[in-house]
Structure 1
Amino acid sequence: MNGTCDERFAALGDLLERRLRTGEEAGASVCVIQDGAVLVDLWGGTASPGVPWTRDTLVNTYSLTKTVTALVALLLTGRGELDPDAPVARYWPEFGAAGKEDVLVRHVLGHTAGLCTWRETVALEDLYDTERAAALLAAQEPWWKPGDGSGYHAVSHGHLVGEIVRRVTGRTVGAVLRAEFPEADYWIGAPPEIDSRVATLVPPPSSGVDYAALAPVAVRTLTNPLIPPPVTTTRPFLAAELGGLNGQGNARSVARLQSLVSHRELSAVDRIFDVQADGVDRVLGAAVRFGLGYAVHAEKRICWWSGFGGSLVINDLDRRLTFAYVMNRMEPGLIGAPNTRAWAEALSSCL
C-alpha cells in the first residue's frame, strides 16, 4: 500500500491494507477530499498479473461514470444552457417522436424517462456509434409512462445525456469534460496514450443478479447488450464515449471532480436533490431515491452512486467531503456490493 492518510481516516487505511493482504482486493485506490484538502490518497495491489497498481493507474469505473456525466449536465444547467425542467425535444427535436414530446431533461437524469434500454436488439459494437444508438432511443416508445417511477437506465443513460449535451454544446460529453476540466485524469473516450495505465478487471464469479426474479424490462435492460469485463481494456471500448459506463479513472481523479459537488463549486448543485423517484426501481429491484444524476439521502445533503463491481463515490455537502473508491477485483451485485458496503461503513466510522 502506498500514499498518504490523515490519522482521522486511519480506518480507511487499515481496511485497504487488510483487504489487499487477504486478497479481497487485487488492486484499488481510495481518496478523501475535505475542505479542499486531500486527506486520503492511497493505492496498492496489482493492476494486472505481475503489474503493480501505481499512483496513476486507471480502471473502468462502470456506472460511477454516470456521476461524471451528470457533472457536465450540471455545469450546463448552472450556465443557463440546459434547463432540467424543459422537454428534451427543445434541444433534441427528434426525441419528441413516439409520444415523448413531454419527456423532460430531469426525467432522463433521474432514470424516470422510460428509456432504460433499446427495443431493438443491439450489440456492444452498436453502442460505440453513440449518435446512431441515441437516434434509436429517440425513435422508440417509452417502456412506461415517463415520470412514473424509476427504471435504472443502466447503459442508455450515457447515450441520452450525451446526446442532449451534444445538441446543446455541439461537443460530446468527453470533449466538454476535457475542455472544462483539463487537469482531471478521468476519461470518457480515452486516447491510446492511457492504455498502458488501465488495470485489468477481475470479474466476479457471477453477476449476483437473479434474472428469473426480475421483470422482463429489467432482464432486457441488463442483457441488451451484455458487457463482459474483459472487453473494458480493448481499444474500441476505451475510445468510445459511453457516458453511462466506460469512464476510466482512479479514486483521486474521481474525488477531485466530484468535490465540485461537495464544495458547491457548481451553481446548480442543489438541483441534484430534486427527488425524481423514491421507491423500488424497476430494473435494480431495490429501493432507490433518485435525484438528478445521483441517488440522494432521505434527510442529509449526501449524494452518491456506485459502479458494477463495487466502485463508489459519496458527496457529503454539509461536511464538504468527497470519498471515492475504485478497484479491479469486482464483487457481485449491481448495487450494495459487499465491498461497497465495507467502504461506506469504514468511512462512516471515521465521521
Structure 2
Amino acid sequence: MHEIFGTWDERFEGVRDVLAENIASGADLGASVAIFMEGEPVLDVWGGCFDIERRRLWDRDDVTAVWSSSKNLTAMCVLLLADRGEIGLDEPVAWYWPEFGQGGKEGVLVRHVLGHAAGLPTWDEEITFEDLYGWEKPVELLARQRPRWKPGTASGYHAYTQGSIIGEVVRRVTGRSLGRFLAEELAGPLGAPCYIGLAPEEHHRVSPVIPLDDMFSGRPVDHPLREIIGNPPMHQETHTIAWTPAWRQAELPAMGGIANARGLAAVQSLLANGGETLGVRLMSEAGCRRAFEEQTNGVDRTFLTPARWGMSWLLPSPELPLPAPRGAFFGGSGGSFCLIDPDRRMALAYVPNRMRETRSAMDPRRLSIVRATYAALAAADGDGRGDGGGMRQRLGSL
C-alpha cells in the first residue's frame, strides 16, 4: 500500500484503499479523489508523486491539467447565468453574439452548443494553439463558419470549439472572460481549486501531466476524431503543451482547466445538492435540474459511438450505464472524471497526473473508484446508513 493523505468518512475507506492500490501498481503516479454528499466533503484524499522524477509528493493544494473536464466547469458557468436569468438556454447564440448569426447558424441555440449539437465540431480553417491563446481569431472564424449538419439534430463532440463559443457568449453577457467569471462567481465563493487561466505565481502548484504516447491508438486513419483533435494539432504537439506557462495562463474553456478532485467535486456538487455546497447557495434546484435534460441521443458524429448528451455531461444509456440512473458524468483526456448523482446528492471526482488511453468512458482507474464508492454506499444502506463514525484524519502510510 502507498501513502495516502487527507480526510475521509470511514464508510469510504475502500475508496481510499483503491487510490492507494492504483498508485502502488503504477496505474497512477499521483492523483486525488473527492466525494461530496449533501454539499459537504465526505472524502478528500490524495497521494503519490507530483513529478515523474518522484522528487516531490502530491500535496493537498496541488493541481494538474484536467483537459475536457474543463467543459464541466464551463457548463456550470452557463447554468449559473441561466439560473439568474442572464442567459436563456433556449435562446439563439446570435441573440448574445450577433456576428454568429450567419451562414446557417441563426437557429443554433445555447443548449445546442452545450449538447455538442451545434454542427461546429472543429474549425474549417487551420488554427494553432497560439491562435486560441489570443481568443479573437478562433471566435471570428466560428462566427463566419457554416455548420456541418443541421443544428440540434445530432451530436458531434466539439472538443475545442465548444469552449470558444460558450466563452464568447459569457463574455458578451457579463463583460468578463469565462475564466474570470468562474473564479469570481463559482470557484471563489466555494474556495474550490479549479481554474481556467492560472496566474503565473501559482504555476508551482501545477503537476506536469505525463502525456499519452499515442492518443489515437486503435482508431482508423479516417476516424473523425483525428480531424477534430488535429486542429489545432494535439497529436503532434502532444500533451506536454500543458507544461508551458502560455497554456497555463491561457483561458481555454474547453480543455485548458487546471484543478484537483476537490475543486471539480465542490463545483459540481451544486448540481447534486440542489444548488448549495459548503453552506453557500449559488443556484436554485430548478436551475440545477436543467443540467440533466437530454439534448441528443444517438450515434455521436465525432466518436462514432452512441452517446446521450445532457447540458455538456453524458447521461446514462444502455451503452454507457451508470449506477446513478438519473445522474450524469464526464471526464477529460487521459483520466480526469466527475460523476453527479442527484438521488444520493453526491458528486465524485478523480484527477490523476498520469494520462492513460481512455477510449471508453470508464478507464480501469475511474471504474475502480466508482465501484468502491457505490460498494461503500451499498454497505452503508445495509447498515441503515449509519453515521460512519465521522471524518478521520490520516497523515501517513497505510
Q: TM-score, normalised to structure 2's length?
A: 0.85
Q: Secondary structure at the match of 2:207?
A: coil
Name the counterpart of 1:309.
Answer: 334
Structure 1 residue 208: deviation in Å?
4.6
Counterparts of 1:326 and 1:208, CA distance in 2: 21
Query: Does residue 307 of structure 2 align to residue 281 of structure 1?
Result: no
Q: Secondary structure at the match of 1:132?
A: helix
Aligned CA distance change for structure 1 residues 36 and 218 (closer, same or farther; 3 Å): closer
Pairwise CA RMSD: 1.5
Percent of pairs with identical residues: 40
Name the counterpart of 2:206.
Answer: 198
Name the counterpart of 1:223.
Answer: 230
Q: Secondary structure at the match of 1:141?
A: coil
Counterparts of 1:151 and 1:209, CA distance in 2: 20
Structure 1 residue 178: deviation in Å?
1.4
Structure 2 counterpart of 1:41, from 31, 41, 44: 44
Structure 1 residue 214: deviation in Å?
4.7
Q: Is the 8 A contact 2:39 2:270 kept in 1?
A: no
Structure 1 residue 335: deviation in Å?
4.1
Counterparts of 1:110 and 1:188, CA distance in 2: 20
Q: Is the 8 A contact 2:195 2:258 kept in 1?
A: yes
Structure 1 residue 213: deviation in Å?
6.0
1:313-348, Cα deviation, whole Å (9 max, x unpaired)? 011111110100000111102442332333223323
Structure 2 counterpart of 1:117, from 114, 117, 122: 122
Structure 1 residue 166: deviation in Å?
0.6
Structure 1, gaps ≥5 residues long: none
Name the counterpart of 1:252.
Answer: 262
Q: Within 5 A, what are the aligned runs for 1:96-245?
A: 96-181=101-186, 182=188, 183-212=191-220, 214-215=222-223, 217-227=224-234, 228-245=238-255
Letter in 2 for 1:167: R
Counterparts of 1:193 and 1:13, CA distance in 2: 31
Counterparts of 1:229 and 1:32, CA distance in 2: 27
Counterparts of 1:61 and 1:28, CA distance in 2: 11
Q: Secondary structure at the match of 2:343?
A: coil
Query: Does residue 96 of structure 2 align to residue 91 of structure 1?
Result: yes
Counterparts of 2:110 and 2:12, CA distance in 1: 38
Aligned CA distance change for structure 1 residues 245 and 335 (closer, same or farther; 3 Å): farther
Runs of 4+ in 1 over 4 A off after TM superposition: none
Which of these two proteins has the greater Rg computed from alpha carbons?
2
Letter in 2 for 1:241: E
Counterparts of 1:257 and 1:82, CA distance in 2: 19
Q: Is the 8 A contact 1:63 1:245 kept in 2?
A: yes
Name the counterpart of 1:272.
Answer: 291
Name the counterpart of 1:297.
Answer: 316
Q: Is the 8 A contact 2:225 2:302 kept in 1?
A: yes
Structure 1 counterpart of 2:30, from 27, 35, 39: 27
Q: Is the 8 A contact 2:337 2:349 kept in 1?
A: yes
Counterparts of 2:161 and 2:366, CA distance in 1: 23
State which drifts further: 178-187 or 192-201: 178-187
Counterparts of 1:214 and 1:295, CA distance in 2: 25
Counterparts of 2:15 and 2:313, CA distance in 1: 24
Query: Does residue 351 of structure 2 align to residue 343 of structure 1?
Result: no
Name the counterpart of 1:324.
Answer: 349
